[in-house]
Amino acid sequence: MLDKVFDPRSFEGNFSFEVEASLRNPNAEPYMVLLPPPNVTGSLHIGHALCYTLQDVLARYKRMRGYDVLFQPGLDHAGIVTQLLVEKQLYESGIEKGTLTKDKLLKEIWYWKEQSGCTILDQLKILGISCDFSRLRFTLDEDSKRAVTKLFVKLFRDGLLRRGERMVSWDPVICTAVSDLEIIEKEVDGHMWHIKYMLEDKSDFIPVATTRPETIFGDAAVAVNPNDQRYRKFIGKSVRVPLTDRLIPVIADKHADMDKGTGAVKITPAHDFNDYEVGRRHKLPVIDIMDEHAILNDNVPELFRKLERFEARKKVVEFLQKTELLIKEEKIKHLLPFGDRSNSILEPRITKQWFVHAEKLAQPAIRAVEEGKLQFVPTHWQNLYFEWLRNIRPWCISRQIWWGHRIPAWYGPDGQVFVAEKYEDALKQAVVFYGKNQVELVQDDDVLDTWFSSGMWPYITLGWPDDTDELRRYYSKMVVVTGFDIIFFWVARMVMMGIYAMDNVPFPEVYIHGLVRDAKGHKMSKSRGNVIDPLKLCEKYGTDAVRYTLTTLASPGRDLKIDEQSVEINRNFLTKLWNVVRFAQMNGCVYNNYFDPSAVDNAFSKWIIVKVLQTVKEVEVALDSYRFDEATKAVYHCIWSTFCDWYLEFIKPVLQQSAIDEERAEGYNLNYTIYKKDVRDTTAWAIVQFVRLLYPIAPFISKKLSGEMGVMEMSWPSLTTVTPAEQLAVEHVEFLQELITSVRSLKQCLHLPASEKVYVSLNDMEEHYQKFLQDHATILRHMAHIELGTTEGMSFPIAINSTVVQMFLMTQVDVKSKIEQLRQELTNLEKAKNSATARLANEEFLSKAAAEVVEEHKKRVVSLDAKIQKMSTLLRNLEMA
């Protein structure tokens, strides 16, 4: 027996889903869910909870539908994030940054990974995520290293990867290059300084505007637009770089925009992306004035050396003012690039880096989506994917940090590069290259962008580069569920690298969920203080309630607004289900394995079976199309509004012996012994189906309750077809529902107590309805204190479906308000009739609308007309009474 009080914490811990997660069925259709590997440093936030819950719903659902499901977990080493975090912790424990050797720091990070890497895995287990933990992979484990090295070498040999000196975005705090995606643009307050660049003979000057006066020492030219009348006379002349003696040319270049700044722009090839290009066009010298920490180097006048960039800026402005070269200073707001990890302003910098020729890899990835081999759900996200891939630039994959995949490249004494999977192979190449046996090679110090290994995740986890059974079986049979914010970072790269290595898309569908926001629609953030901790919610309301809430909020293409109240509401729903099972237990409803839903012989059971099967179908359709919201709503509605509110109320008199005795005494002709058994079996059967439908979403309570009902295995409900006899039962029950609701409503309107006895005449209805009502007189009495047959007292019309029946009342009541209401009802009926009639009078409607629509309108008019006739007659009687 279940406890009276529903407390999810009392049983959740009893279920571990690891065994079923690891079961493989080689004879079934393969299906894989690829868990986006969380960072080793991570802990579960609400976004993870959503993403992982949806995946778990899919995994469990597919398992129940008989698929061979591989739910693959993993952890990401998350290069920069992890290294920064460990360095910070070491710093807090007294170890200065930069004092540890590379080996020691790596040892510390590995140690820390072992300590904390399990945190998020434990949290996944709390959330009930049923991935196969026995297959857990790490993006930096030995097999991953082998795969990453292999792919790197393959890319290099195919000419898709090269090392080159280019301008990259440089993070001067972490001291590494970063990729375009790791840049966050933020608007900040700044200044625009207008500076005089004096002609060589000091006869005149060109005004130049800049936001970065400290970079004047790197200037190689001043550019003006060739069409700019103001400055045409200066082209070809030389101007002096302020605060120095250096002369630079005035050049004509379209890059100079006449409408921006002063129209004359300083060209600093070493410190600006555009200027770098201009410099190349005009073969200007590249003067690098900063070191890796963005501190000014020896290429600037002595006064400014060793100054940090912002100090230097102040000082330069100060000296420009002193020397009267400063024309004016304006306050402006402008966007600046920040590193997403260090939150420092990035510096364009020329360095040697490894680049992937992404443009080439992107083409088949674009085609895959164009040709429908890969579909985004919802579809519109493909626009974002296309936009990025069609404008993709070379992907800088080298990082000047220590934690990550070491780049498999070695350099000879003259800098010649040898790329190979192993040192020995590189050495062989070098021996051949130099034609001597003794060559000293040094391996590249850099590591790879974290997303390089993540991009390979679909096949790394299946054993690539080995040709494994799993790889053949599950690759391209998987699904990826993730947020739109990593379509570029991860999804696009998995597709590019997947097609490149495997010659096929890794997954045919990718589901993109929304962002979890707070109740007001604000992004959750620590600084805002509106972060919702999913684990705390689980603790308070139960994991199932949290999972259910996230699932029901997952409407396609929308962000999710969540608050505690919504979790509470769904907890209430689970409590309801709990109480349903208690009710079943109290009334001897036990699941019978041999119960045949098509053999039941009473209308109510037939009706609820039909409703349950409809719901099963709805849930299947919903989950097959990633409509998580619809799936939860269908179950919710069927359990609460159909099963609890109606079915259980219908059957209470049957289950309660005293009522049955009474019924017998009155001589009705139903066999209540069979009836009761049918009803008990059906109740248990329905509950078991509900629990099965809910299992993917709320596994803990489902497991618990199915156990209570005597079922352990979690198979998906099987559908049987609905026969005409069942259809009639459905009609009867729906007729009864309408009658009961209308009588209740009528009583309330007349200010009568619900317990007031009323009479319903059978005269106005077809014979099979009469018989049905007579057979179930107890139920009418039980649910609405309705008696059948009498035609005395005050008569009230009740419109049901296509007919109007009469309710009789023995007591005198004030009918004024009811008459008012009935008049309104009559008006509404007439309005509906008129609108349908008007349409039928329209010849264009008749000729152009679909035949069944016209037919439906005709039927509607006939039915409405009959109702109106009857209703108005009865209303007149009432008004005269």
Partner RNA sequence: GGGCGUAUAGCUCAGUGGUAGAGCACUACGUUGACAUCGUAGGGGUCGUAGGUUCGAACCCUGCUACGCCCACCA
Asked if 834 touches RNA (CB under 7 A), the answer is no
Asked if 817 touches RNA (CB under 7 A), the answer is no
Asked if 839 touches RNA (CB under 7 A), the answer is yes
Asked if 580 touches RNA (CB under 7 A), the answer is yes
Range 133-192, binding RNA (CB under 7 A): 180-181, 185, 192
Measured from the CB atom, is 110 or 845 closer to RNA?
A: 845
User: Please, what is the minimum distance in Å from the beta carbon of residue 251 to RNA?
Assistant: 12
Among 350, 431, 569, 777, binds RNA (CB under 7 A): 569
Tell me how far apart the alpha carbons of residues 314 and 452 are, in angstroms, rounded to a whole number.
Answer: 40
Measured from the CB atom, is 41 or 210 closer to RNA?
A: 210
One symbol per residue from 501 to 520: x for binding RNA (CB under 7 A), - otherwise; what is it? ------------------x-
Give bridge partners of residue 471 from the DSSP assignment: none
Range 696-735, binding RNA (CB under 7 A): none
The answer to whether 785 touches 755, Cβ cutoff 8 Å, is yes
Contacts of 373 (CB under 8 A, 6+ apart): 505, 508
Kind and range of the H or E element at 50?
helix 46-64
Which tokens sit at 539?
């603790």
Tell me how far apart the alpha carbons of residues 834 and 823 are, in angstroms, rounded to a whole number.
Answer: 16
Which tokens sit at 156?
């290099």
Range 528-567, binding RNA (CB under 7 A): 553, 555-561, 565
Asked if 226 touches RNA (CB under 7 A), the answer is no
Measured from the CB atom, is 154 or 744 closer to RNA?
A: 744
Asked if 391 touches RNA (CB under 7 A), the answer is yes
User: Please, what is the minimum distance in Å from the beta carbon of residue 542 to RNA?
Assistant: 10
Q: At what angle do helices 564-586 and 534-541 cross, to 10 degrees?
A: 30
Three-class SS state of 687:
helix
Tell me how far apart the alpha carbons of residues 675 and 776 are, in angstroms, rounded to a whole number.
Answer: 12
Taking alpha carbons only, the member of 748, 807, 751, 814 closest to residue 780 is 807
Tell me how far apart the alpha carbons of residues 40 and 307 are, in angstroms, rounded to a whole number.
Answer: 37
Q: What is the widest separation between alpha-carbon atoms in the chain?
A: 124
The answer to whether 795 touches 871, Cβ cutoff 8 Å, is no
Give bridge partners of residue 238 from the DSSP assignment: 249
The answer to whether 218 touches 347, Cβ cutoff 8 Å, is no
Range 399-458, binding RNA (CB under 7 A): none
User: Please, what is the minimum distance in Å from the beta carbon of residue 628 to RNA?
Assistant: 11
Taking alpha carbons only, the member of 788, 785, 594, 579 closest to residue 690 is 579
Three-class SS state of 256:
coil
User: Please, what is the minimum distance in Å from the beta carbon of residue 734 to RNA?
Assistant: 13
User: Please, what is the minimum distance in Å from the beta carbon of residue 384 to RNA?
Assistant: 5
User: Please, what is the minimum distance in Å from the beta carbon of residue 6 to RNA?
Assistant: 5
Among 158, 257, 298, 370, binds RNA (CB under 7 A): 257
Tell me how far apart the alpha carbons of residues 236 and 239 are, in angstroms, rounded to a whole number.
Answer: 10
User: Please, what is the minimum distance in Å from the beta carbon of residue 467 to RNA?
Assistant: 37
Asked if 614 touches RNA (CB under 7 A), the answer is no
Give bridge partners of residue 207 from the DSSP assignment: 196
Measured from the CB atom, is 383 or 727 closer to RNA?
A: 383
One symbol per residue from 754 to 793: x for binding RNA (CB under 7 A), - otherwise; what is it? x---------------------------------------
Tell me how far apart the alpha carbons of residues 264 and 248 are, in angstroms, rounded to a whole number.
Answer: 14
Asked if 818 touches RNA (CB under 7 A), the answer is no
- Using the contact rule CB under 7 A, the part of the chain among 24-32, 266-274, 529-537, 695-703 near RNA is 266-274
Measured from the CB atom, is 741 or 761 closer to RNA?
A: 741
Measured from the CB atom, is 486 or 535 closer to RNA?
A: 486
Q: Residues, the chain, total?
A: 881
Asked if 622 touches RNA (CB under 7 A), the answer is no
Q: Binding residues for RNA, how many (CB under 7 A)?
A: 86
Q: What is the dihedral of CA 216, 393, 184, 342, to 10 degrees?
A: -80
Q: What is the dihedral of CA 555, 561, 565, 569, to 10 degrees?
A: 0
Which tokens sit at 445?
């110090």
Among 246, 582, 677, 785, binds RNA (CB under 7 A): 582
Range 470-489, binding RNA (CB under 7 A): 484, 488
Asked if 860 touches RNA (CB under 7 A), the answer is yes
Other C-beta atoms closer than 10 Å to the C-beta of 163 total 18
Range 190-219, binding RNA (CB under 7 A): 192, 208-212
User: Please, what is the minimum distance in Å from the beta carbon of residue 691 to RNA?
Assistant: 14
The answer to whether 21 touches 507, Cβ cutoff 8 Å, is no
Range 326-355, binding RNA (CB under 7 A): 334-335
Range 624-683, binding RNA (CB under 7 A): 629-630, 633, 637, 640-641, 644-645, 648-649, 652
User: Please, what is the minimum distance in Å from the beta carbon of residue 612 to RNA?
Assistant: 16
User: Please, what is the minimum distance in Å from the beta carbon of residue 649 to RNA?
Assistant: 7
Among 849, 868, 870, 877, binds RNA (CB under 7 A): 849
Asked if 841 touches RNA (CB under 7 A), the answer is no
Taking alpha carbons only, the member of 329, 345, 348 closest to residue 289 is 348
Measured from the CB atom, is 523 or 664 closer to RNA?
A: 523
Q: Where are the beta strands (DSSP E) in 459-508?
A: 478-483
Three-class SS state of 472:
helix
One symbol per residue from 740 to 759: x for binding RNA (CB under 7 A), - otherwise; what is it? xx--xx--xx---xx-----
Asked if 111 touches RNA (CB under 7 A), the answer is no
Order across the sheet with 161-171: list the strands.
176-178, 161-171, 347-356, 395-396
One symbol per residue from 359 to 388: x for binding RNA (CB under 7 A), - otherwise; what is it? ---------------------x--xx--xx
User: Please, what is the minimum distance in Å from the beta carbon of residue 804 to RNA?
Assistant: 15
Q: At what angle do helices 46-64 and 543-553 cross, to 10 degrees?
A: 90
Which tokens sit at 760?
């319903």
Write down the residue that tokens 């079996």 correspond to.
681
Write down the residue that tokens 């010659």 correspond to.
503
- Rg (Cα) of the chain, in Å, rounded? 38
Tell me how far apart the alpha carbons of residues 23 and 63 are, in angstroms, rounded to a whole number.
Answer: 10
User: Please, what is the minimum distance in Å from the beta carbon of residue 460 to RNA?
Assistant: 26
User: Please, what is the minimum distance in Å from the beta carbon of residue 103 to RNA?
Assistant: 36
Asked if 251 touches RNA (CB under 7 A), the answer is no
Write down the residue that tokens 């002369």 correspond to.
247
User: Please, what is the minimum distance in Å from the beta carbon of residue 636 to RNA?
Assistant: 7
- Using the contact rule CB under 7 A, the part of the chain among 2-10, 349-357, 413-421, 423-431 near RNA is 2-10
Asked if 837 touches RNA (CB under 7 A), the answer is no
Which tokens sit at 600?
């039941």
* Intra-chain end-to-end CA distance of the chain, in Å: 56
One symbol per residue from 294 to 333: x for binding RNA (CB under 7 A), - otherwise; what is it? ----------------------------------------
User: Please, what is the minimum distance in Å from the beta carbon of residue 842 to RNA?
Assistant: 5
